[in-house]
Amino acid sequence: MDAAESFGEMLPWLKKYRDAVIVIKVGGHAMVDPTARDSMIKDIVTLKFLGARPVIVHGGGPEIDAMMKRMGKTPKFVSGLRVTDEETLEIVRMVLVGNVNAAIVSIISKYGGNGAGIIGNDGNLIVARRKAPEKAVVDGKETEVDYGWVGETERINPQILNILLDNEYIPVISPIGYDAEGHSLNLNADTAAGDIAVAIKARSLVSLTDVNGVMLDPANKDTLVSQLSVARCYELIDKGIISKGMIPKILASVSVVKGGIQSVHIINGNTPHALLQELLTDRGVGTCINME
């Protein structure tokens, strides 16, 4: 396909996403690879220049793990959540705000965009509460787990995001919330991105991950499912086709769609230009989840 044909295919999608808010969760190992990260952020800036209004929510799991190990600490996860004591919380803040967020804003500027790095206490963006201890299976035994300074969203106040978007900025959000006493809390980036997307009434949520999407056979890339309804998601979970770590990601996506978002896209951030191919072509490259 030549360039003219490519632009022709993109036209209806450009019309669809013009002035639309798109929340993009970036994370995974693509954020550790400078070349992949650079390409990913360049595509987000391209979306901005094409008329969309992107909002970035970033994780930083691999970078946090690396920093913890350098400081002699062993990362601990229960039910997919990072157990966060006070020292770990400081590492999380240092890596997310001082490293990952700043790097993303710099790359946005490199490609001619205007990025604005923010965290949960900016404009009371993310008001959170500390996650209560709960029973979970650890090393094959059920035990009560105190997650430490891990938070759950209570309220999203999108006013600061609307101000930034109206002034042509690309907000770059570190998923750190704050409780009523001013304590910072470590939030799951996928969950935070979904909460923000619903609160700001985004058209779409895109999750850039380390997987291609939902596959009927994880060992066969040709079994990728490009479109899934909410009902079909539940069906594939019941049949065990969607399993393990993909279950919480899919259930979170379903929750976002039920919250009013038109579509949630799960794509592989390690694939060059996956974001543009997914949103601006008929074929797509990942899995799109919508209500029907």
CB 22 within 8 A of CB 202: yes
CB 248 within 8 A of CB 81: no
* Amino acid type, 92: V
| CA distance to 38, 206, 267, per residue, from 137 (Å) | 39, 31, 30
State residue 4's pLDDT score: 44
State residue 8's pLDDT score: 61
Residues 6 or more apart whose Cβ sits within 8 Å of residue 222: none
How far apart are alpha carbons 254 and 236 in whole angstroms?
Answer: 13
**β-pairing, 204-209 with 21-26?**
parallel
State residue 72's pLDDT score: 93
Sheet bearing 204-209, strands edge to edge: 115-118, 170-173, 53-58, 21-26, 204-209, 263-268, 287-290, 227-229
DSSP 145-188: E--BSBEEEEEE-THHHHHHHHTT-EEEE--EEE-TT--EEE--
Joined tokens for residue 267: 């794509």
Residue linked to tokens 């978002």: 261
pLDDT tens-digit series, residues 95-147: 999 999 999 999 999 999 999 999 998 999 999 999 999 888 787 888 899 99
Between 269 and 160, name the one with better pLDDT: 160
Q: Which fold has domain 3-290?
A: Carbamate kinase (3.40.1160)
- Where is average pLDDT lowest: 53-57, 58-62, 199-203, 282-286? 282-286
CB 172 within 8 A of CB 104: yes
Q: Sorting pLDDT into bands at 50, 70 and 90, what band is 81?
A: confident
pLDDT tens-digit series, residues 7-41: 566 677 777 888 999 999 998 888 888 999 999 99
Res 165 pLDDT > 90: yes
